[in-house]
Chain A
Amino acid sequence: MAGKKPNVSKEELLEYYREMLLIRRFEEKAGQLYGMGLIGGFCHLYIGQEAVVVGLEANAKEGDERITSYRDHGHMLACGMDPKGVMAELTGREGGYSRGKGGSMHMFSKEKEFYGGNGIVGAQVPIGAGLAFANKYRGNDNVSFTYFGDGAANQGQVYETFNMAALWKLPVVFVIENNHYAMGTAQERSTSTPAIYTRGEAFEIPGEAVDGMDVLAVRDAGAKAVAHCRAGKGPYILEMNTYRYRGHSMSDPAKYRTREEVQKVKEEHDAIDHVREMLLTGKHASEDDLKAIDKEIKAIVSEAAQFATDSPEPDVSELWTDVYA
């Protein structure tokens, strides 16, 4: 970044800031509600990785699809799903996106073209390519954003998918969120070649490594990938170098990395701090402006939490609905 003047408007920067902050505050609140027993089961927080979804969503247009793993709250907020409905799904209430039946790992929005929310590591990858297949089949120029982790990148079905996506020139951006750990396994302990973005080479899929803590770098790389897909040239791989601050899920003591390692990323590479810096030094916003945004976001999140607490549990008849269409 140093020295180069970023190609971004004040409005865009403020928008990215707001969206990233919303995800972070939302996730902090979710963590608190989990500790209180209001959220149960597995709950995987996205804190630290906010720039990835926000930067990519900046390239999405109406009709584009997105799909990801269980670490999905950030993706839903970034594609415009209502924080109230997301939080109420986390608490398993009627007001949730899946009416309480899916929980943290399984939320969907047909309206926002969000296809989940997938609990099985790697399973979203061929499904994401299937969304792209439908786009090509129908002859539109929509793109499927298919997100998966560094751990998921070792699943065999990823490579079966790469082959088909390249063979059939499917408009899919494979976004690898490399946060360097799959649960407790550091990436170098699980893979023989760490540069995941090169793994499309055998299929002639272009790939790129991106600083996933820099929302503008993400956005720009995304723009290139999306243009490639929309032009009918087939899939594109983006490997986002990012980091998760919290444990793998709420019940992970995270003893496999040092507190210093986490602290260092937080202090030196935090995506939100980075944009904050840009806003202040570029005189796009004053401390007071940013405080006002903070307050606004806090209110949205409190409202979501309140809604998620007040919304009733699903009616017992819901047990038997939705098994078949």
Chain B
Amino acid sequence: MAIQILMPALSPTMEEGTLAKWLVKEGDTVSSGDIIAEIETDKATMEFEAADEGVIGKLLVAEGTEGVKVNDPIAVLLEDGEDASAADSAPAAPAPATETPEAVAAAPVAVTVPDDPELPEGTTFKSMTVREALREAMSEEMRASDDVFLMGEEVAQYQGAYKISQGMLDEFGERRVIDTPITEHGFTGLAVGAAFAGLRPVVEFMTFNFALQAIDHIINSAAKTLYMSGGQMNCPIVFRGANGAAARVAAQHSHDFAAMYAQVPGLKVVMPYSAADAKGLLKSAIRDPNPVVFLENEILYGRSFDVPEIEDFTVPIGKAKIWREGSDVTIVSFGIGMQYALEAADRLAGEGISAEVVDLRSLRPMDTETVIRSVQKTNRCVTVEEGFPVGSIGNHISAVLMEQAFDYLDAPVINCTGKDVPMPYAANLEKLALVTTDEVIAAVKSVTYR
């Protein structure tokens, strides 16, 4: 019986891909394991193998087609002896019984960057992914100063595990784009030493989960030395990489460390949402004389945003940004939490509730002033983050509001967070473990008494 060959999922975060090349044509016989096509994912070009044997009856998607959704039929495979007419009636190959992992993340919100009052009039914008923005930031800073270098696992020859540093080895050479062994504790300490000596290392952790191997140097060596040395020895270093949940990578690869690092005096901590902030904040982080923990998110890497086309564009560390003005409630978030906040605000607007959305961008120092000013106007606040509930960023905001804006609050602050459990692998459980837009909407309704 003829079966359909479906667009495969070739990475944990792949939602769609480009069918770059067919390596077979109609009428070709294939057997299990033969490479039949090249498919470009968000990160790489992958070879796609046939899983069954048969004759290619029909190619349903032309070579070069972009945006082919995972699990869309791309070809029909006939059994030996079947004629091509069977191709038309081919049933789909067994469809996944559950939703694909990609569906776990909330649908991308249509994002328009609000006007930034500080941008000069007539500023033009360029659409780029967060991935490209991070790369531009590092490259610009490396062009500007020979003291800046990039070090980490797979950053050079492999072009980055998540392709952030793609092309940088070519431009800067192996003196400045350095592949390390898998030895986080060692290379982090080494980079801290280099920073003490006046260089400006950018240390990439493949993901922040692995920085746990190195957290002693981040906290005990990088964060505390300036203080312990009575101000003599500063540590100009950036620790960056993917933080928090990706898709279906389970407990040891999904930890959100935002609140943990934000607790440590001596560190600066930033967690951008948009590409513009990723670029501007990373440039500021590299120039900063202090250790900066720069938390990225794998799911956001492939998202596109408008980035101002300004020579040497930077975003100051420690300044929040109002993404959307509103009058009924303040939703405070950061990083990937912003996608739930913005989606909730959109849907709430449809129900006549006007939400102001504040992106903290920096967690340490934190721009609580902007939050307080907003709450003085709306009198209600909901916080949104993917991290654990105990000792969360939301907890801190709640405390600040209670101490400094108590008289303005018309309802208790609600913290929407990830659940108080290690991240489960199962698709249905993972979805429940993450914060959801529905939870944010319910929290807003609760604080606005609707």
At the interface, yes or no: A223 with Cβ under 8 Å from chain B? Answer: no
Chain A residues closer than 8 Å to B424, beta-carbon distance: 100-101, 314, 318-319
Task: Tell me, in angstroms, the Cα distance from A67 to B70 when the chains sit together.
Answer: 35
**Chain B contact residues: helix, strand, loop or mixed:** loop
Determine if B426 and A38 form an interchain contact, defined as CB atoms under 8 angstroms apart.
Answer: no
Pick the most buried of A38, A255, A316: most chain B CB atoms within 10 A of its CB.
A38
Determine if A120 and B433 form an interchain contact, defined as CB atoms under 8 angstroms apart.
Answer: no
Determine if A120 and B48 form an interchain contact, defined as CB atoms under 8 angstroms apart.
Answer: no
Q: Which of A183-191, A235-243, A283-291 contacts B (4 or more CB under 8 A)?
A: A183-191
Chain B residues closer than 8 Å to A318, beta-carbon distance: 424, 426, 429
At the interface, yes or no: A102 with Cβ under 8 Å from chain B? Answer: yes
Task: Tell me, in angstroms, the Cα distance from A255 to B166 when the chains sit together.
Answer: 14
Determine if A256 and B183 form an interchain contact, defined as CB atoms under 8 angstroms apart.
Answer: no
The 8 A CB mask of A189-228 against B (1 = contact, 0 = none) is: 1110000000000000000000000000000000000000
Q: Which of A5-13, A28-36, A58-66 contacts B (4 or more CB under 8 A)?
A: A28-36
Chain B residues closer than 8 Å to A121, beta-carbon distance: 182, 210
Q: Contacts A38-B96, A316-B432 hold; do A251 and B158 have CB atoms under 8 A apart?
A: no
At the interface, yes or no: A126 with Cβ under 8 Å from chain B? Answer: no
Q: Which of B121-129, B245-253, B335-343 contacts A (4 or more CB under 8 A)?
A: B245-253
Pick the most buried of B47, B157, B419, B425: most chain A CB atoms within 10 A of its CB.
B425
Q: Which of A15-23, A150-158, A272-280 contacts B (4 or more CB under 8 A)?
A: A150-158
Determine if B183 and A119 form an interchain contact, defined as CB atoms under 8 angstroms apart.
Answer: no
At the interface, yes or no: A75 with Cβ under 8 Å from chain B? Answer: no
Task: Tell me, in angstroms, the Cα distance from A316 to B95 when the chains sit together.
Answer: 23
Q: Contacts A122-B182, A182-B182 hold; do A41 and B248 have CB atoms under 8 A apart?
A: yes
A102: nearest chain-B partner, CB-CB: B425
Determine if B250 and A106 form an interchain contact, defined as CB atoms under 8 angstroms apart.
Answer: yes
Interface size on B, residues (CB 8 A): 64
At the interface, yes or no: B427 with Cβ under 8 Å from chain A? Answer: yes
Determine if A314 and B182 form an interchain contact, defined as CB atoms under 8 angstroms apart.
Answer: no
Determine if B9 and A34 form an interchain contact, defined as CB atoms under 8 angstroms apart.
Answer: yes
Q: Name the one of A28, A40, A98 contacting B247, with C-beta atoms under 8 angstroms.
A: A40
A43: nearest chain-B partner, CB-CB: B12
- Shortest beta-carbon distance, B172 to chain A, in Å? 18
Task: Tell me, in angstroms, the Cα distance from A185 to B48 when the chains sit together.
Answer: 23
Q: Contacts A37-B96, A156-B183, A251-B43 hold; do A42 and B157 have CB atoms under 8 A apart?
A: no
- Shortest beta-carbon distance, A1 to chain B, in Å? 27
At the interface, yes or no: B62 with Cβ under 8 Å from chain A? Answer: no
Chain A residues closer than 8 Å to B352, beta-carbon distance: none
Q: Contacts A37-B100, A103-B248, A309-B97 hold; do A156 and B210 have CB atoms under 8 A apart?
A: no
- Shortest beta-carbon distance, B323 to chain A, in Å? 30
Chain B residues closer than 8 Å to A250, beta-carbon distance: 10-11
Scan residues 72-86 of chain B and give those whose CB is less than 8 A from a CB of chain A.
Answer: none
The 8 A CB mask of A85-128 against B (1 = contact, 0 = none) is: 00001001100001011111110000000000011111000000
Chain A residues closer than 8 Å to B433, beta-carbon distance: 319
At the interface, yes or no: A313 with Cβ under 8 Å from chain B? Answer: yes
Q: Contacts A40-B100, A119-B252 hold; do A106 and B153 have CB atoms under 8 A apart?
A: no
B189: nearest chain-A partner, CB-CB: A156
Q: Contacts A38-B97, A250-B11 hold; do A151 and B181 have CB atoms under 8 A apart?
A: yes
- Shortest beta-carbon distance, A192 to chain B, in Å? 9
Chain A residues closer than 8 Å to B212, beta-carbon distance: 120
Q: B interface vs A, CB < 8 Å?
A: 6, 8-12, 14, 32-33, 41, 43-49, 51, 70-71, 93-98, 100-101, 153-154, 157-158, 161, 179-183, 185-186, 209-210, 212-213, 246-253, 419-422, 424-429, 432-433
Top 9 A-B pairs ranked by shortest CB distance?
A103-B425, A40-B248, A41-B248, A40-B101, A184-B158, A35-B8, A251-B11, A119-B252, A100-B426
Q: A interface vs B, CB < 8 Å?
A: 28, 31-32, 34-38, 40-42, 89, 92-93, 98, 100-106, 118-122, 151-152, 154-156, 182-185, 189-191, 250-253, 255-256, 309, 313-314, 316, 318-320, 323
4 more contacts with CB within 8 A, not counting A36-B93, A41-B12, A41-B248, are A28-B33, A122-B213, A185-B179, A255-B44
Between A and B, 21 residue pairs with Cβ closer than 8 Å are A32-B51, A34-B9, A37-B100, A38-B97, A40-B9, A40-B12, A40-B427, A41-B12, A41-B250, A92-B425, A92-B426, A100-B425, A101-B426, A119-B252, A122-B182, A154-B182, A156-B183, A184-B154, A185-B158, A253-B45, A319-B421
